[in-house]
Amino acid sequence: MKNKYILIKLLGVASLIAVVILYFIVYFVPSVKTISHKKLQLKDLNLKIKDFVKTETKFAFSNDEERRLFRNTEHDLMEKIPVIRSKEDFIRLITRVSNYIRQLAEKDGVMNLVISSESSEMKLNAGTLSSDSQSFQELLAFSTSRLARMQHNDFSPGMKQGAPKPRSGLFALQENIECHTVTLSFSGPMRSSMNFINHIPWGPFYLTQDKMVVAEGPGFPYCIVFLKIYYVSLKPTTPAGSPQ
């Protein structure tokens, strides 16, 4: 009988404690978490406002002159990058670039020039400049073996036409920008070759030179330059990177 009374007493106390524990688990702890979360949210918002006010007071908003400068800069960049809508456009572009390169090489006094592309779609071997065939053959032999070595060492970004282009740099800045890499192998007097390298970006196309190799030749030094031709592609691209 005594045990019964003690049991009732214990049950009463235990149920009170259980209620308190239950309250802590079900309400108190989640509430504390919610409150601390809200506190952080509030602090974050306050900081954002403080930061914004600080920025706004010091910030110089754009004026017309600056906006004009922005537009001009974009125009300057994009006017050299043609829009390609078809394969024909692309071939036309490559032909025009090849002609430009050839004319420039001739003008700068480069003796031998080979323009090549390893793209499966665009197998190019542009015409050579008028020169003696022996030195041209030597240049071809050098560039073939050197390019093969570079390809073997996987050094050449120009040889990886099929690789997906990282959307960084110019690709990230402008939509639908693509590029096609061609290889220029040439020889000639050092002065002429360097002038040629220097003058390539001056033309009407947006051309960037990537890896360059200058090697000792039997008469004049041999040069290999990977040249990137940029264009805006408005057609779906093939895996090889050239428009259909």
Query: Residue numbers of the site for other proteins (CB under 8 A)?
Result: 1-2, 5, 8-9, 12-13, 16, 19-20, 23, 27-28, 31-32, 34-35, 38-39, 41-42, 45-46, 48-49, 52-53, 55-56, 59, 61-62, 69-70, 73-74, 76-77, 169-170, 173, 190-191, 194-195, 197-198, 200-202, 206-216
Name which of 12 and 219 has its Cβ closer to other proteins: 12
Is residue 144 a contact partner of residue 186, using CB atoms and an 8 Å limit?
A: no
Angstrom distance (rounded) from CA 116 to CA 125: 5
CB of 198 to other proteins, least distance (A): 4
Nearer to other proteins, 127 or 218 (CB): 218
Q: Name the residue nearer to other proteins (CB basis): 91 or 203.
A: 203
CB of 25 to other proteins, least distance (A): 13
Q: In the complex, what is the shortest distance from the CB of residue 54 to other proteins, in angstroms, rounded to a whole number?
A: 11
| Collapsed DSSP state (helix, strand, coil) of residue 164 | coil
Which positions ≥6 away from 214 have C-beta within 8 Å?
A: 193, 221, 222, 223
- Distance CA(65)–CA(79), nearest Å, equals 20
Q: In the complex with other proteins, which residue's Cβ is closer, 45 or 133?
A: 45
217 contacts 189 by C-beta, under 8 angstroms = no
Q: What is the distance between the alpha carbons of residues 222 and 200, in angstroms, rounded to a whole number?
A: 17
CB of 117 to other proteins, least distance (A): 19
Q: In terms of CB distance, is 60 or 130 closer to other proteins?
A: 60
Q: For residues 186 and 202, give the distance between their C-alpha atoms in angstroms, rounded to a whole number.
A: 18
Closer CB to other proteins, 28 or 88, in the complex: 28
In angstroms, what is the minimal distance from the CB of 86 to other proteins?
26
Minimum CB separation from other proteins for residue 190, in Å?
Answer: 6
Residue from 231, 159, 236, 223 nearest 192 by CA: 223
Which helix (DSSP H) or strand (DSSP E) does residue 37 occupy? helix 29-58
